Structure 1
């Protein structure tokens, strides 16, 4: 059965058009995907270090400890917070009044509108402090300081019981709920009393997108947007870390090979017609 003479060139043209559309859509998708990654410090060059997605539980080596109070926890970061019961000035609709409250830094009464009778003690006997683990890892990679400081979330750390306080602090501090306090009870606090509490970044599953250098995750220094890294709680997909990231075409090399096969088939149809017409 002979086919119409126009059928082969038409089929060849359709195959060429399909190959062109497939190749253009593939390359545009790949380029858009790479462009967004590049803005965050990623790279399309497989031979160069790019952004690496790592997910897993936080691992700690050399857990932090507050040596003054003997408080420690197997966490990446431990914070000591110190507050003083002191006067603070409150202005509402032009009316000023003064109240005693817990504040985590000394309040200078020199700026009060009515300083008389509202003098604060001044410097704290004990200051707040932060204590970091010697090393923090996720997925077998060590975290650079910038990534360690970006680990999300805090949880309270219980203060030591009265019987476990260092001897030099027993006469000054006692347990009052979730605090160590220079007062016997929180509801009996007086001007100048201190209370101390601790918080910690918990050990949890996180996902990090950063640059890997010799086993160390670091920010991408050439990122045009953001901090050069992303840190989120839980096991997150790349699209969750970078919502603006367009999806990369699935199996781009297979799509390119298919486009090449379509071109060859189109060439066979078109050139075969020419040979048949000679």
Structure 2
């Protein structure tokens, strides 16, 4: 059997098969690893600008969202739920009130109806199926080659959705069938927030987290001894007594509000929340997303540097201990360069999207540097000869 997960040269593969797992040992030559490292170098050259673009775009996105939220908070008007004022058509409104749901949603396929007052019904379908796990251990060999031992284990368990068994390393004997039923959700029809009509864009923002008084249903021959293909079905619902919405008034319903900054505002929260609290929560979400994307961009740049330095480690792997030291050193260097490059890109983005704030930060930094410099000079002059 000849195989390679990375396109490199494999000299030999040994396979040991057991009932539910097997082990595969692959060997890759030093020349093949050099070729792979050079390919990685090219990928690193492509990832470097990609990470920079992500960081730069994220700062612009964060500023645009912040400006949109500031604009929305300044023009939003809280309105009563008992009547719709046609004069506010297209305006940004805040509505908070009690829900009216004439008929709860239902799963007609499996004949399950949510309790009265439910806004959403979610059906979760789990299938008893084959699952694959793999563990790999790579060892460097004298001369720069590597040996990788990979163990593939197969077990049966419950998992929502269908795991694609065609992608298993050993699909034979581990096929997963297509389930008869799948997870899906239903929304209540004709739901209203006072006089305002609710549609899917607003209802779908409400999570179905409550269990309903409906036992989990097993679809198969024996629940105590499930077979591959058997199903386990459960239901959850969303049953908020009240809802708060910030959106554009559109007819007798809601739609996204287009801000001058370029975003479309539509916020939905369960319970009665003031408009100010909803905008504050949105600002917090924007801050969290900004830092998450900064971290993602930094990781992309770090991985790019790591790929650029990878050929050095492969060259040093002719003597395995030396390769480990070079790999550790290049990893530290990649991290240090990332900590320099990523903030510089963010600073350039700030100069573009937040010039006043960026200028203030630069001035403060220069003032601190000047003050520290003067303080050090004063201590030098005061020191005894």
Runs of 4+, deviation exceeding 3 Å: 34-44, 46-49, 92-95, 221-227
Report the counterpart of residue 71 of structure 2 in structure 1.
Answer: 38
| Greater mean alpha carbon deviation, residues 219-228 or residues 134-143 | 219-228
* Conservation of the 8 A alpha-carbon contact between 1:150 and 1:231: yes
Please state whether the residue corresponding to 1:241 is helix, strand or coil. helix
Cα 1:36–1:109 change in 2 (3 A) is closer
Number of aligned residues = 193
Instruction: Pick the aligned partner of 1:70 from 83, 87, 111.
Output: 111
The answer to whether residue 100 in structure 2 is matched with residue 59 in structure 1 is yes
Report the counterpart of residue 210 of structure 2 in structure 1.
Answer: 155
Q: What pairs up with 1:165-184 in 2 under 5 angstroms? A: 177-184=215-222
Once the two structures are superposed, residues 58-105 of structure 1 have per-residue CA deviations (whole angstroms, 9 ceiling, x without a partner) of 321332211222211132221222221000112244532112122222
1:36 offset after TM fit, Å? 4.3
Q: Distance in 1 between matches of 2:89 and 2:174?
A: 63
Q: Distance in 2 between matches of 1:70 and 1:83?
A: 18
* Conservation of the 8 A alpha-carbon contact between 1:41 and 1:50: no
Instruction: Pick the aligned partner of 2:277 from 240, 258, 261.
Output: 240
Instruction: Pick the aligned partner of 1:91 from 116, 120, 134.
Output: 134
Cα 1:220–1:35 change in 2 (3 A) is closer
Q: Distance in 1 between matches of 2:203 and 2:197?
A: 9
Report the counterpart of residue 245 of structure 2 in structure 1.
Answer: 208
Report the counterpart of residue 80 of structure 2 in structure 1.
Answer: none
Q: Distance in 1 between matches of 2:76 and 2:229?
A: 56
1:40 offset after TM fit, Å? 7.5
Q: Distance in 2 between matches of 1:205 and 1:70?
A: 27
Q: What pairs up with 1:217-228 in 2 under 5 angstroms? A: 217-222=254-259, 224=261, 227-228=264-265
Once the two structures are superposed, residues 162-189 of structure 1 have per-residue CA deviations (whole angstroms, 9 ceiling, x without a partner) of xxxxxxxxxxxxxxx533332443x422
Cα 1:144–1:227 change in 2 (3 A) is farther
Cα 1:227–1:198 change in 2 (3 A) is farther
Please state whether the residue corresponding to 2:257 is helix, strand or coil. coil
1:50 offset after TM fit, Å? 1.9
Q: Distance in 1 between matches of 2:120 and 2:203?
A: 8
Please state whether the residue corresponding to 2:173 is helix, strand or coil. coil
Q: Distance in 2 between matches of 1:42 and 1:123?
A: 51
Q: Distance in 1 between matches of 2:221 and 2:191?
A: 37
* Conservation of the 8 A alpha-carbon contact between 1:152 and 1:232: no
- Tell me the TM-score normalized by structure 2: 0.44
Instruction: Pick the aligned partner of 2:159 from 93, 103, 113.
Output: 103
The answer to whether residue 199 in structure 2 is matched with residue 144 in structure 1 is yes
Q: Structure 1, unaligned stretches of length 5 or more?
A: 1-33, 160-176, 246-278
Please state whether the residue corresponding to 1:56 is helix, strand or coil. strand
Once the two structures are superposed, residues 209-228 of structure 1 have per-residue CA deviations (whole angstroms, 9 ceiling, x without a partner) of 11112221222144746651
Q: Structure 2, unaligned stretches of length 5 or more?
A: 1-66, 78-86, 137-149, 284-385
Greater fraction of residues in helix:
2
Q: Distance in 1 between matches of 2:234 and 2:277?
A: 35
Q: Distance in 2 between matches of 1:81 and 1:147?
A: 21
The answer to whether residue 182 in structure 2 is matched with residue 119 in structure 1 is no
1:241 offset after TM fit, Å? 0.6
Please state whether the residue corresponding to 2:206 is helix, strand or coil. coil
The higher relative CO (CA closer than 8 Å, separation ≥ 6) is in 1
* Conservation of the 8 A alpha-carbon contact between 1:61 and 1:135: yes
